[in-house]
Amino acid sequence: MSLELRAVTKSFGALIANDHIDLKVGDGEIHAILGENGAGKSTLMNVVYGLLQPDAGEILVDGEEIKISGPADALAAGIGMVHQHFMLIPVFTVAENIVLGHEKTNKFGILELSKAKEEIRRVSAEFNFDVDPDSLVETLPVGIQQRVEIIRALIYDAKVLILDEPTAVLTPQETDELLRNMKILRDKGTSIVFITHKLREVQEAADKITVIRRGKVVGNPLVTASQEELASLMVGRPVALDVYKKAITPGPVALSVKNLNVHDITGRRLVKNVTFDVHEGEILAVAGVQGNGQSELAKAIVGLEEFIDGSIVLDGKDITTWSVHDTLYSGIAYVPEDREHDGLISSFSIAENLILDTFDTPPYAKGPVMSPTIVAREAEVRVKEFDVRLQSVQDSAASLSGGNKQKVVLARELSRPVKLVVASQPTRGLDVGSIEFVHQRIISERDSGKAVLIFSTELDEVTDLADRIAVMYRGEIIAMVAATTSREDLGLLMAGVHPEGTRS
């Protein structure tokens, strides 16, 4: 089945999110849509899926114009979509989620699931998805949840499958698996619209590429195009993909962690006996597959974990038992892993979000009295400095794209006088332009003599930024290696295997 868009236009107030977009997705092809955050990719796909109504333009399926006024129409036309943010009900089973909205009941009015389960097993087996229809969604890893969404689309006979940034939430291994599955689906005749801003994935999986910038199609590069070419097309200017880092001699120890253990509320030990130092003017990157204790370690350092023992010393002061407020003020900038949930208050204005941890200090407040004018004025300054794209600093943070949200968090955290920067997954879900920006900011923090501690699951990020690399596996730091360690060796270490000669 082929899908064609002609001059699709959609605006939100003054903002034109999609400006006369033409797109042609052929039968059985993986068509990558590449664009920065805020380029209008999700908007375009929401139009195709009927969640948004276009201001103008046509949608054609197999050459015939169709009208899509809701997801039901889209499904009927053979278009399925997996959203950037999953739309599953956590306390339901896989089968229950999949039949949701299409429930069938038997003659006693009781939900009839056996048919659906059979279908799920069939599709799951066909694509090697390994999904059990009876498992509760909340117990499944993100990668599997995504497969549930894909199965749902396939069961309702999607011939064109739209995947909106499917890899944003996945680990490197899960990403590889998804890309493999996409190719299998394509070979069986499903067309796939693959939305992403990760260049490597595009090169690996796409048959055709359409690049969107600020709501307009800016090119259809060949799949043989280099990453630099793709990136500059996407961003609209030449982009340095390799991070430039000047050599610098690290100073004295800024942060010293000794024998740190972190337990969760049930008593499980998530971080085991971790010991390391971070020096001034050094970036220590903690690499590891998601869920190996990195998040807890980062949180423990800023005082967000309750059940810890061991010692955390910052600049000679033992901050192990300090409150979050006190650790932040003692000189730590903290960029949390989940910026939507922990980093920002989406209903607050951008200006308010920029002072979330400094609101009670001058110049924003004198005693208990806050000054909205000064808050707004300072926000304008920060927003310029960190190149946050927005309409007004009084808009809610929810109105920002992912990259700009992260810029707001960075602008807030790096505008305080700090000695240590702790950043968890600082570029997760960000586009090339924003990643470049974030990386440069992090390196300039290092160059100005701050100690920097990065937690990342992205190997590229780790090798690009780090001066030294710590690898975490099952709560332990199993290796402390040089920044020059190869990707392959790091990959093995992240899987808990010590390659020859890296034992530390």
Ligand X SMILES: Nc1ncnc2c1ncn2[C@@H]1O[C@H](COP(=O)(O)OP(=O)(O)O)[C@@H](O)[C@H]1O
Which residues would be at the binding site for other proteins (CB under 8 A)?
302, 304, 323-329, 334, 336, 341-348, 352, 356-357, 359-360, 365, 368-370, 372
Considering the rule CB under 6 A, would residue 38 count as an interface residue with ligand X? yes
Which of ligand X, Mg ion, other proteins, none sits in contact with 457, Cβ below 5 to 8 A by type?
none
Q: Considering CB under 6 A, how many residues would be counted as binding ligand X?
A: 13
Helix (H) or strand (E) holding 489: helix 487-494
Which lies closer to ligand X via its Cβ, residue 319 or residue 408? 408
Which lies closer to other proteins via its Cβ, residue 284 or residue 335? 335
Cβ–Cβ under 8 Å, residues 5 and 58: yes
Burial class (CB in 10 A: 0-12, 13-18, 19+), 389: middle
Which of Mg ion, ligand X, other proteins, none sits in contact with 12, Cβ below 5 to 8 A by type?
ligand X
Strands 468-473 and 317-318: unpaired
Considering the rule CB under 6 A, would residue 37 count as an interface residue with ligand X? yes
Tokens 């959203």 correspond to: 83
Which lies closer to Mg ion via its Cβ, residue 250 or residue 403? 403
Choose the stretch contacting ligand X; rule: CB under 6 A; options: 34-42, 242-250, 281-289, 367-375.
34-42
- Please state the closest distance from residue 20 (CB atom) to Mg ion, in A: 20
Rounded CA-CA distance 479/464 in Å is 18
- Please state the closest distance from residue 81 (CB atom) to other proteins, in A: 25
Cβ–Cβ under 8 Å, residues 40 and 17: yes
Q: Which of residues 40-99 bind Mg ion (CB under 5 A)?
A: 42
Choose the stretch contacting Mg ion; rule: CB under 5 A; options: 38-46, 263-271, 381-389, 484-492.
38-46
- Please state the closest distance from residue 413 (CB atom) to ligand X, in A: 23
The set of residues, in sequence order, having a beta carbon less than 8 Å from that of 305 and lying 6+ positions away, is 262, 296, 299
- Please state the closest distance from residue 358 (CB atom) to other proteins, in A: 9
Rounded CA-CA distance 23/414 in Å is 41
- Please state the closest distance from residue 163 (CB atom) to ligand X, in A: 12
Query: How many CB atoms are closer than 10 A to CB 312?
Result: 21
Q: What DSSP string describes 233-265?
A: HHHSS----SPP-------SEEEEEEEEEEE-T
* CA 475 distance to own-chain centroid: 22
Q: What DSSP string describes 68-119?
A: --SHHHHHHTTEEEE-SS----TTSBHHHHHHTTS--B-TTS-B--HHHHHH
Rounded CA-CA distance 164/331 in Å is 38
Which of other proteins, Mg ion, ligand X, none sits in contact with 25, Cβ below 5 to 8 A by type?
none
Choose the stretch contacting ligand X; rule: CB under 6 A; options: 37-45, 66-74, 260-268, 466-474.
37-45
**Which residues on neighbouring strands pair with residue 421, listed in sequence order?**
333, 452
Residue 9: both structure tokens together? 């236009």
Among 210, 401, 424, 463, binds ligand X (CB under 6 A): 401
Considering the rule CB under 6 A, would residue 55 count as an interface residue with ligand X? no
Rounded CA-CA distance 151/156 in Å is 9
Residue nearest to Mg ion (CB): 42
| E-state strands within 377-450 | 420-424
Binding mask 112-141 for ligand X (x = CB under 6 A): ------------------------------
Considering the rule CB under 6 A, would residue 343 count as an interface residue with ligand X? no
Rounded CA-CA distance 47/81 in Å is 11
Considering the rule CB under 6 A, would residue 434 count as an interface residue with ligand X? no
Considering the rule CB under 6 A, would residue 61 count as an interface residue with ligand X? no
φ/ψ of residue 446, rounded to 5: -60, -45
Which lies closer to ligand X via its Cβ, residue 399 or residue 440? 399
Considering the rule CB under 5 A, would residue 191 count as an interface residue with Mg ion? no
- Please state the closest distance from residue 44 (CB atom) to ligand X, in A: 7
Considering the rule CB under 6 A, would residue 359 count as an interface residue with ligand X? no
* CA 416 distance to own-chain centroid: 25
Residue 124: both structure tokens together? 């799951």
Strands 30-35 and 191-196: parallel
Which of Mg ion, other proteins, ligand X, none sits in contact with 241, Cβ below 5 to 8 A by type?
none
Coil, strand or helix: which one is 209?
Answer: strand
- Please state the closest distance from residue 57 (CB atom) to other proteins, in A: 22
**Which residues on neighbouring strands pair with residue 311, listed in sequence order?**
258
- Please state the closest distance from residue 398 (CB atom) to Mg ion, in A: 14
Considering the rule CB under 6 A, would residue 54 count as an interface residue with ligand X? no
Considering the rule CB under 5 A, would residue 196 count as an interface residue with Mg ion? no
Burial class (CB in 10 A: 0-12, 13-18, 19+), 176: middle
- Please state the closest distance from residue 206 (CB atom) to Mg ion, in A: 17
Residue 414: both structure tokens together? 């790096």
Cα dihedral sign for 402, 408, 414, 420? Answer: negative
Among 8, 29, 31, 40, binds ligand X (CB under 6 A): 40
- Please state the closest distance from residue 364 (CB atom) to other proteins, in A: 8
Q: Which of residues 282-341 bind ligand X (CB under 6 A)?
A: none
Considering the rule CB under 5 A, would residue 124 count as an interface residue with Mg ion? no
Which of ligand X, Mg ion, other proteins, none sits in contact with 43, Cβ below 5 to 8 A by type?
ligand X
Residues contributing to the site for ligand X (CB under 6 A): 12, 15, 17, 35, 37-43, 399, 401
Residues contributing to the site for Mg ion (CB under 5 A): 42
